[in-house]
């Protein structure tokens, strides 16, 4: 009986409170941090840190700020019923001195020296399988002022957002060769951010 | 007798423009830009004051905010070209005086920081300054009974969080208001400039005021100070715009006698050296330079600099 109550409770929670799921994918399978994934025949990639901000708004215009963190599975489930959603934070909140919850600078997403929050943070290593050469990469993509604004509204949110990380990294390291260290608002950072949002798809 | 009286009146009217306070342009203080904390209180101020003077905020408990911002020198790092940090590390910019921060729309020499509450994260976490992480700072504070107790009193929460730490420091730094210099008393018609100070003020209005606007004697714009260096490009480092290269925010000239050395890299030790630097641009002779310095000295506010309310404080001394 106890088991039944517990199971029912879990089912109830999922049914009523998971309004939006964030799915981090590598070739349509679940993506995990610190695992090696082949980018092509010669490159392997291992990501140690991956976070990004989502800003959502309910129908009553109440705003919510979410830090989606690959190391925290709980952050991949959003419980509010959002009417609108965007990747990155709006300029107003960026300079508002709001430092609570997801916006706590302790999360490592606040640019103290250049007021504003990082929209997408991704850190890892690239390994050349043939030469065994290892290259560190670190992307802090953000900025709220033109021409380096890094926020993007998502339409038709649905019940799940799928982030196709394999496509993103292929565009960064294979199709075009970007600098491997970006830690300030800049052209390249904005381009990589735009590539990131282009890999997001929606599940109905 | 009547002739003598007329002569005296004539003399007074001739010099009146120099000596009479009525000749000094009256300036009113603008509206503050930075917002006051909603948790603002006397206890919040004392908490922020204690944190400001406590080296617990640094990596090895050796450096406090006050290490580079001394109350007796209008919270500047007197006689240090650039700021010093943990493990004898040296920063690349001069630590400016801290006062009238509520009227600033940006902070740091490059203006990269837009709100005072978030500013403190920079010195706390910069490897050349306090070199600490926010996580460690919070852990240390949460492990200190006095702090836990005080934070709880001010913020009504059991655990110290980042926003509380930043808010408390801001409560202290926002309260650092300096507006009682000789110049301010001239503005209120309580005292008068000497002839040299008045001459200096007129020269100042002609040559310096465009950037250093009264009554705050700074502006929130970015200007060239005529110094170009390869290792610090100023505002450009924030915006990336080529036109912002070598532009720096305009510092306040209030309490300038106490905030040496000067410029963003602290290269000038004396006001004389600063005036000599600018005299190349404005063609100021030696007397003009001396007069301007005489005026600048009227911007010193000793009631602020020596205000015991802003000096060293520790929570341990509280009942």
pLDDT in tens, B114-164: 999 999 999 999 999 999 999 999 999 999 999 999 999 999 999 999 999
Interface size, chain A vs chain B, as Cβ–Cβ contacts under 8 Å? 50
Inter-chain residue contact B113 with A186, CB threshold 8 Å: no
**pLDDT band (50, 70, 90) for residue B178:** very high
Q: Which of A87-96, A175-184, B20-29, B204-213 has the lowest mean pLDDT?
A: B20-29
Instruction: List helix spans (H) across chain B.
Output: 2-19, 42-52, 65-68, 116-119, 121-125, 134-142, 145-155, 162-174, 182-187, 195-207, 236-239, 271-282, 286-296, 302-305
**A112 Cβ under 8 Å from any chain B Cβ:** yes
Residue B30 has pLDDT above 90, yes or no: yes
Residue among B114, B120, B122 at smallest CA distance from B34: B114
- Per-residue pLDDT tens over the stretch A37-72: 999 999 999 999 999 999 999 888 889 999 999 999
Distance of CA A177 to the CA centre of its chain: 21
B265 HSE (CA, 13 A, CB side): 14
**pLDDT band (50, 70, 90) for residue B315:** confident
Mean pLDDT value of segment B224-252:
93
Mutate to test the interface with B, among A91, A95, A103, A106 (most CBs of B within 10 A): A106
What DSSP designation does A175 have? I
Inter-chain residue contact A99 with B166, CB threshold 8 Å: yes
Average pLDDT of chain A is 89
Which of the residue ranges A16-30, A82-96, B160-174 has the most confident prediction, judged by mean pLDDT? B160-174
- Alpha carbons A42 and B109: distance in angstroms, whole number: 46
**pLDDT band (50, 70, 90) for residue B7:** low
Mean pLDDT value of segment B69-91:
92
Mean pLDDT value of segment A152-157:
86
Burial class (CB within 10 angstroms; exposed 0-12, middle 13-18, buried 19+) of A96: middle
Beta carbons within 8 Å of A189's beta carbon, 6+ residues apart: A139, A140, A141, A142, A143, A148, A150, A182
What pLDDT does A60 receive? Answer: 86
Structure token pair of residue B166? 């930043």
ipTM beyond 0.85? no
What pLDDT does A145 receive? Answer: 86
Mean pLDDT value of segment B9-18:
46
Which of the residue ranges A12-16, A177-181, B247-251 has the most confident prediction, judged by mean pLDDT? B247-251
What pLDDT does A6 receive? Answer: 40
Residue A123 has pLDDT above 70, yes or no: yes
Q: Which of residues 52-111 of A touch B (CB under 8 A)?
A: 95-97, 99-100, 104-106, 110
What pLDDT does A194 receive? Answer: 97
Helix (H) or strand (E) holding A14: helix A2-17
What pLDDT does B230 receive? Answer: 77
Structure token pair of residue A158? 């649905």
Instruction: Sort strands A200-203 and B219-224 into parallel, antiparallel or unpaired.
Output: unpaired
Mean pLDDT value of segment B56-70:
95
């Amino acid at each position: 009986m106890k088991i039944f109550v517990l199971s029912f409770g879990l089912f109830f929670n999922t049914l009523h409170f998971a309004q939006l799921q964030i799915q981090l994918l590598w070739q349509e399978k679940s993506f995990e941090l610190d695992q090696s994934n082949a980018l092509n025949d010669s490159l392997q990639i291992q990501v140690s840190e991956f976070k990004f901000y989502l800003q959502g708004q309910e129908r009553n215009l109440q705003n919510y700020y979410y830090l989606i963190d690959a190391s925290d599975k709980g952050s991949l489930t959003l419980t509010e019923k959002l009417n609108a959603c965007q990747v990155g934070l709006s300029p107003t909140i960026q300079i508002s001195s709001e430092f609570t919850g997801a916006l706590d600078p302790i999360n490592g997403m606040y640019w103290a020296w250049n007021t504003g929050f990082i929209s997408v943070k991704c850190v890892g290593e690239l390994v050349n399988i043939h030469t065994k050469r290892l290259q560190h990469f670190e992307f802090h993509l953000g900025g709220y002022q033109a021409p380096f604004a890094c926020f993007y509204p998502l339409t038709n949110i649905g019940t799940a957002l799928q982030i196709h990380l394999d496509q993103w990294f292929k565009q960064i390291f294979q199709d075009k060769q970007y600098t491997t260290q970006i830690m300030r608002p800049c052209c390249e950072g904005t381009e990589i951010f735009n590539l990131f949002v282009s890999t997001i798809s929606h599940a109905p | 007798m009547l002739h003598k009286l007329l002569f005296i009146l004539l003399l007074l009217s001739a010099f009146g423009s120099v000596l009479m306070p009525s000749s000094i342009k009256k300036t009113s203080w603008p509206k503050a830009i930075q917002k006051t904390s909603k948790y603002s209180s006397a206890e919040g101020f004392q908490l922020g004051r204690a944190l400001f003077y406590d080296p617990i905020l640094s990596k090895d408990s050796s450096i406090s905010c006050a290490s580079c911002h001394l109350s007796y020198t209008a919270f500047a790092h007197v006689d240090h070209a650039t700021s010093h940090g943990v493990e004898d590390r040296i920063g690349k910019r001069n630590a400016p005086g801290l006062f009238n921060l509520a009227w600033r729309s940006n902070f740091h020499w490059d203006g990269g920081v837009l709100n005072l509450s978030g500013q403190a994260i920079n010195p706390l976490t910069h490897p050349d300054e306090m070199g600490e992480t926010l996580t460690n700072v919070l852990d240390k504070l949460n492990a200190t009974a006095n702090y836990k107790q005080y934070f709880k009193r001010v913020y009504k929460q059991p655990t110290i969080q980042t926003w509380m730490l930043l808010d408390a420091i801001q409560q202290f730094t926002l309260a650092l208001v300096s507006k009682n210099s000789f110049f301010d008393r001239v503005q209120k018609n309580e005292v008068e400039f000497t002839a040299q100070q008045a001459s200096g003020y007129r020269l100042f209005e002609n040559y310096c005021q465009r950037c250093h606007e009264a009554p705050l004697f700074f502006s929130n714009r970015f200007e060239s100070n005529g110094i170009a260096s390869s290792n610090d490009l100023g505002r450009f480092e924030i915006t990336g715009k080529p036109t912002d290269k070598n532009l720096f925010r305009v510092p306040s000239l209030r309490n300038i006698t106490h905030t040496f050395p000067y410029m963003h890299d602290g290269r000038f030790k004396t006001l004389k050296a600063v005036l000599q630097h600018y005299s190349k641009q404005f063609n100021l002779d030696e007397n003009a330079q001396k007069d301007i310095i005489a005026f600048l000295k009227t911007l010193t506010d000793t009631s602020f600099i020596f205000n015991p309310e802003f000096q060293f404080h520790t929570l341990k001394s509280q009942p």
